Each structure stands twice: as C-alpha cells, then as structure tokens.
Structure 1
C-alpha cells in the first residue's frame, strides 16, 4: 500500500547573527514534504516578500548537534 503524500510544518525562531551584535529573532516556518523526503524548506517573511530556502534535512540535523 502506498503512503499518502503529506506536508509537516513547524514555526520556529532563528537567531540571525551579525558581527558585534546580539542575535536578532527571525520567525521562520519549516516545511517537510514527503514527495521530497530529503529536503527541508525554510520560509521567511521579508516585508511583503516571501523567501524560501531549500536545504538538505541532514544539514538541519547536523546544526542541532554543532554550530
């Protein structure tokens, strides 16, 4: 039996780091789609625009363990 397509979403807050300043909070929506199981989409709202970053889920997992 084939699995149904699904999308999992979560809202989190990234810390935008710049030189010489404290991290700035940036709200981000993370999205995982079973049609592309090795990718994560980070959705950022920049004013009236939406920015979508796509990266490997392994990169996200590695970032939980080390900077």
Structure 2
C-alpha cells in the first residue's frame, strides 16, 4: 500500500500531466465529485485520495481512448 504522501505525489504528477498534455481535459477536473465535499469538514484519508487518483486515471484513459490529440 502506498503512503499518503506517495498518493498525493502521484495525484500532483497526474494533474500536471493533464494540465500540460491535455489542457482540454483539465477544465473538467473541477467538476469531479471528489473535489466537491458534501461534508463541512471532510476526512481526506488515504482511501479517499486513492479513489481520487483512480478517478483521475480513469478520466484520462477514457479521454485518450475516445479523443485523438491534435498535432
């Protein structure tokens, strides 16, 4: 299992990749339900962060599969 700082590093790197290589996808990151907590003081534990990382990976894989990158 990864430690929290490793998960946060992976999230940061993936977001940077999306921002740099797929700017058309970057605009949708704010709409991810994980980024909009329903609680006043949400608990962002390792499982929550790993779920967010998995969501980001899925979003990117879906985008790559369904959209060709303009060159």
Q: TM-score category by the smaller chain?
A: 0.3 to 0.5
Return the TM-score normalized by structure 1: 0.32
The structure with more strand, counted as a fraction of residues: 1
